[in-house]
Structure 1
Amino acid sequence: MDELASLSLTHVQFDPRDKIAYWLAYITLSPLAILVFYASVIVSRREVAGILMLAGQLCNEGLNAVLKEYLQIARPHAHLGTGYGMPSSHAQFVCIYLGYHSLPQVMAGSFAGLAFGVVWYALTELGLRKSGCIQWALDQPVAKRLYLRDMRAIDNVARWEYQQWEQQVRHRQGSENKQE
């Protein structure tokens, strides 16, 4: 086998002559980027949707860990890392071709990700939201102190926020004119 290069940030091994593998080695970082995105949305927007997405991602990772320990199916090539390969958690984001997982592992990971996504959506939208649990949680003092909110009922959040900003500017300008 030809010598493989290692992406130093994660030690993802790939054939450096294969341009697709080069880019896919970077795409394998997408789960980390998505976690950073979730954290940014939660901290900056205080939006329930971000919290639910992060919770779903973490639950999905937990499910993968349990399934891998239960199934105990090895990766197709031992030199590509420790741990079990089935189901592929990366395949729940993208179907990678770097050889870290066999086709059945990628398919199982894709199916597990799709199935978990459907179940999580049903749980959050049809269960928690429709039953009023999300609104109940937002009505709690700690949620109010953290300024948590659910903007889902607003059709165009960007327009609504812009209109709020315009009102504040007009109010501020009106107050300044009164003081003169």
Structure 2
Amino acid sequence: MDEQTPIEWQPLSLTLVEYPKGDWLGKFLAIVSLSPFGIGSGFIALILFRRDLHTIAFFLGTLVNEALNYVLKRTIQETRPFARGHLYTEYGMPSSHAQFIWFFNTYVFYFVLIRLHQINNKSILSALWRVILLGVCTGLALLVSIGRVYLLYHTTLQVVVGAGVGFVFATIWFALVHKVCTPFFPQIVSFKLSELLMLRDTTLIPNVLWFEYTSSRQEARTRARKLAALKPQ
């Protein structure tokens, strides 16, 4: 590069969210709008440590959803309501944040009502846990959607369209995973490569958290007895 040529610095605006100075509500909504990145990090952590096929399928759905948003934005080419210089040069229709968060919320909704419906647990605590989970996810989706309009990153229509696309695609993707892919999960985990990667299929396990808790507790007790038997008397 020519030493006389000035370097043009391009900011990475992936996690940059602006809000009006001194506006506590705007600051709160700006922080909430970062939640999709936290959800993505959670997916990666779950996949690395649990390696469950359904979690992987869910995560793949979010990636395809993002690719769909990329195509739609560059096909429609509708600008954002407020110009922010070169920080945000991409188009605004539909809102990627709204599409992501409503895809996530809709998929979780179907998972709880359809997948977890198979669990024969009618306790009040179990029902309360599901209501709280759905309420938190829906509340988060609403806050992210409101924040994108409040902070002038998108118009109301751009957010509504993004939410609608996310809802429709989540419905299609869940049906595909639940009806088409899930029956093949037992075969997939039997592959040598799956064994090497330690992939798991927990579809038939009603309560995965309780299963893992009781299994680890039983294994710990078994190993403790073996160690005690090996100690010299």
Q: What TM-score comes out, normalization by structure 1 length?
A: 0.87
In the TM superposition, what are the counterparts of 1:42-121 in structure 2 within 5 Å?
42-79=47-84, 81-92=88-99, 93=101, 94-95=144-145, 96=147, 97-121=150-174
Aligned Cα root-mean-square deviation (Å): 1.8
- Tell me the distance in 1 between the aligned counterparts of 2:36 and 2:217: 37
Structure 2 counterpart of 1:91, one-letter code: A
- Tell me the distance in 1 between the aligned counterparts of 2:27 and 2:41: 22
Q: 2:16 — aligned with what?
A: 11
Q: What TM-score comes out, normalization by structure 2 length?
A: 0.68
- Tell me the distance in 2 between the aligned counterparts of 1:159 and 1:34: 23
- Tell me the distance in 1 between the aligned counterparts of 2:152 and 2:59: 28
Counterpart check, 1:127 vs 2:180: yes
- Tell me the distance in 1 between the aligned counterparts of 2:89 and 2:186: 43
Structure 2 counterpart of 1:170, one-letter code: R
The structural deviation recorded for 1:9 is 8.1
- Tell me the distance in 2 between the aligned counterparts of 1:10 and 1:113: 21
The structural deviation recorded for 1:63 is 0.2
The structural deviation recorded for 1:170 is 2.8
Counterpart check, 1:35 vs 2:40: yes
Q: 1:5 — aligned with what?
A: none
The structural deviation recorded for 1:89 is 1.0
The structural deviation recorded for 1:138 is 1.6
Q: Cα distance 1:168–1:11, how it changes in 2: closer, same or farther (>3 A)? A: closer
Residues 30-61 of structure 1 deviation map (CA, whole Å, 9 limit, x = unaligned): 12111110110001111112211210110000
Structure 1 counterpart of 2:54, one-letter code: A
Equivalent position SS for 2:18: strand
The count of aligned residue pairs is 171
Give unpaired runs (5+ residues) of structure 2: 1-12, 102-143
Give unpaired runs (5+ residues) of structure 1: 1-7
- Tell me the distance in 1 between the aligned counterparts of 2:52 and 2:84: 42
- Tell me the distance in 2 between the aligned counterparts of 1:64 and 1:157: 33
The structural deviation recorded for 1:11 is 2.9
Q: Percent identity?
A: 37
Structure 2 counterpart of 1:85, one-letter code: G
Matching residue within 200, 207, 229 for 1:149 = 200
4+ residue runs over 4 A deviation: none
